[in-house]
Amino acid sequence: MTISLLQNDIVWGDPNANQENIAEILWGLDKSDVYVLPEMFSTGFAVDPHGIAEQDESSLTWMKEMAAELKGAVCGSVATEVDGNYYNRLYFVKPNGDVVTYDKHHLFTYADEHRHYKRGSERTVVEFRGCRFLLQVCYDLRFPCFSRNNERIPYDCAIYVASWPTSRLAVWDTLLHARAIENQCYVAGVNRIGEDQACQYSGGTLLVDPYGNTAAACPLDEDSAITVELDLQKLRDFRRKFPVLKDAD
């Protein structure tokens, strides 16, 4: 199982430009099973979704097209409007067109995200090509109970897509490593670069292995991507040898 993590700047409020830019990067990568894009990759992080959230699912349609052409899953979040409600919705789109969604559970009250978006109620795990992925968005990273690996809904890799500001980058890095260690899993953290009206972003996109080691990382402040193999047999062997999860509360 290979996973590619994409770190890029985002053109504010311009889905077409962002889709074109991302497609160019994706086609330059080696083939992968899963491609992960940052939070609200099509518009930038919009606290107020009015006039910017998508009603026509144009970004989802583009993700389906890319997944089919790349023959791999494409994952990323989009500001979405459904029946008058707004969601920070993470899509996991498979090459056959199947779509699994996760609506961000922990809305960022510090920036009033909770005043505009409807909070998701359920956590989501999707299985693809023998690997189970936990889908998470940005602020979810600060809440370990919600991502706790367990026998009822187990997973092998947690995906965090984000618009995480430069000022709190050390927190981002620390928490990604913590989530990998405490859940005995791979963790993929995908963050944008550039700036918008409110924040500056430096990236910090990386893949952490179940031992808490950084397996690969994008350079800060650069459009870039990394492709990493997830060794699922090594993960299973580690869990058998050191069964931490069996002792969890």
Tell me which residues are annotated as active site.
39, 104, 138
- Return the biggest CA–CA distance within the chain: 52
> Can you tell me the distance from the alpha carbon of 201 to that of 44, in angstroms, rounded to the nearest whole number?
11
Ramachandran assignment for 89, one of left (phi > 0), alpha (psi -120 to 50 degrees), beta (any other):
beta
* Short-list 32, 31, 30, 25, CA closest to 10: 25
146: phi then psi, degrees, rounded to nearest 5: -65, -30
Q: Looking up tokens 């996973």, which residue turns up?
A: 3
What stretch of H or E contains 213? Answer: none
Q: Could you say which DSSP state residue 202 is in? A: E
* Short-list 57, 165, 45, 60, CA closest to 117: 45
- C-beta neighbour count of 62 within 10 angstroms: 21
